[in-house]
Structure 1
């Protein structure tokens, strides 16, 4: 896509391919009340002097307070803090009420159990299009050693869980499949008996192979995102990895069809595992909170992974 045909939504999606961490930026307003918001546009800048930056939208409800403050803190969230991220991404009246936090040396709120936190004095506020860049000089910090919460393609992921899950299914042939979503509908193959799209691989990158398959089946551009289900079929010992993916484009796919979850009541599926995955998608998509299932075809655990980081 060239500059002449640049589509803002497509550009945002392309930016979203970059894997980031998730932070909560905090300060105090003129009355001394704590304020904070979720952000993933955080970057370390310099060690000498110690500098970092955060990008803030001009439309942010926190714009005046953040650009006028003398100090602020950046809290890098750990893998178990998705709920905290969601709280500070939404217009909640008192975001701090449900959080465990304390004051950093200069009074900026810092949260318990984060991967790390940094308190900064404001070095500069730099104009940057529809955002501003908050350049902070680090005056205090702490590093807990916990793994950070990850974010890419519009969804959270937890690096430790993802590594363990893929490792559990990494020996021999792997059956890979997808919960492919478009406008809230799920892509399925078959007429009387429905199945998820997928294939079997024995080497190579499973995400690349799956994405190529989905684009060939549908004729649409596909972004393959986070793990959705990792399980062993005890009947034949086969290992399965299912990813969540998003399709872009309108119209009818080359093969198969997109169906709303409401149309799947009473549908027949090619396996009980497929039925469980589709039913879970119907439930989770209704509340916008997805997870990763790890186990076998009959028993396992769903690890919640919330989907969206809202604009601050």
Structure 2
């Protein structure tokens, strides 16, 4: 058999954007249990079937594989805190969310984008996981947008749409906070100063533009895609989009990686770059990131949790 590095394979799987769910059930004693999962898919309309995947190492493995029913709650875009709560060993996870029993008896969340309460149909062995197939006994669709997850971070459709509208102008400038192991890539700017890697979009996709131009100018491969800031520079008369990005190994052909605690804050090209890097450094310590919308002097940070 071909041997793969597990972490590299997991990162590659993470390129596929998914939703975020909380899977719930009850123990044999009747206690409510639940955990965050993004390995969920519809299977069939007739009969109504869905599936979720569960690691055999999960603390919920015995309870879930022995349960006669389970529910899948598709989280709404403002339920990142719920996702994080059910991803951690919190003593009373259900105290953080409004819930009730579904038709099959598992906890369902009325505030979710949708929920599906199921009876257990079949368990399929699948390597280091099992596939739980459920038959839908009842469901509810609130019509709200779901919370997204890709490459280890959350995204929301509403904020992504605002960024796309900003990218509709060919003069839009796109930049990236490129991080690697606690350091950030900065490139030379005028007057012996430092700047974020940036480019002008033109008629290109903003993510494709910044990835291609950073690769061309620094010979470093990056993976962009997590929004960090969208703002109008009224003085320069253009929109700006800033993404968070991860960098591959290797030295850059221009610029250098600075540790977060030694960023050259007094030698940055603009006050906006300084504001971006100060916020990035502060949010990195918590592992929770937001998306700023506004102009060069005033706006609002929309909180987004950085990882589950």
TM-score normalized by the length of structure 2? 0.95
Is contact 1:166–1:230 with CA below 8 Å preserved after alignment? no
Task: Identify which of structures 1 and 2 has the higher relative contact order when contacts are C-alpha pairs closer than 8 Å and 6+ apart.
Answer: 1
| Structure 2 CA distance for aligned equivalents of residues 90 and 220 of structure 1 | 34
Structure 1 stretches lacking a partner, 5+ long: none
Equivalences for 1:231-270 in 2 at 5 Å?
231-249=231-249, 251-264=250-263, 266-270=265-269
| Structure 2 CA distance for aligned equivalents of residues 67 and 26 of structure 1 | 12
Equivalences for 1:206-225 in 2 at 5 Å?
206-225=206-225
Q: Which runs of 4+ in 1 moved over 4 A?
A: none
Is contact 1:222–1:247 with CA below 8 Å preserved after alignment? yes
Cα RMSD after superposing both structures? 1.5
**Could you say which residue in structure 1 is the equivalent of 2:201?**
201
| Structure 1 CA distance for aligned equivalents of residues 60 and 247 of structure 2 | 33
Q: Secondary structure at the match of 1:303?
A: strand
Is contact 2:55–2:128 with CA below 8 Å preserved after alignment? yes
**Could you say which residue in structure 2 is the equivalent of 1:60?**
58
Task: Give the superposition deviation at 1:13.
Answer: 1.2
**Could you say which residue in structure 2 is the equivalent of 1:83?**
81
**Could you say which residue in structure 2 is the equivalent of 1:31?**
29
**Could you say which residue in structure 1 is the equivalent of 2:300?**
301
| Structure 1 CA distance for aligned equivalents of residues 229 and 126 of structure 2 | 40
| Structure 1 CA distance for aligned equivalents of residues 117 and 170 of structure 2 | 48
| Structure 2 CA distance for aligned equivalents of residues 153 and 73 of structure 1 | 25
| Structure 1 CA distance for aligned equivalents of residues 273 and 60 of structure 2 | 44
Task: Give the superposition deviation at 1:220.
Answer: 3.4
Is contact 1:73–1:119 with CA below 8 Å preserved after alignment? yes
| Structure 2 CA distance for aligned equivalents of residues 240 and 127 of structure 1 | 48
| Structure 2 CA distance for aligned equivalents of residues 5 and 186 of structure 1 | 32
Is contact 1:165–1:294 with CA below 8 Å preserved after alignment? no
Q: Secondary structure at the match of 2:104?
A: coil
| Structure 2 CA distance for aligned equivalents of residues 171 and 70 of structure 1 | 54
**Could you say which residue in structure 1 is the equivalent of 2:71?**
73
| Structure 2 CA distance for aligned equivalents of residues 209 and 303 of structure 1 | 25
Is contact 2:220–2:251 with CA below 8 Å preserved after alignment? no
Q: Secondary structure at the match of 1:267?
A: helix
**Could you say which residue in structure 2 is the equivalent of 1:291?**
290
Which segment is superposed worse, 11-20 or 49-58?
11-20
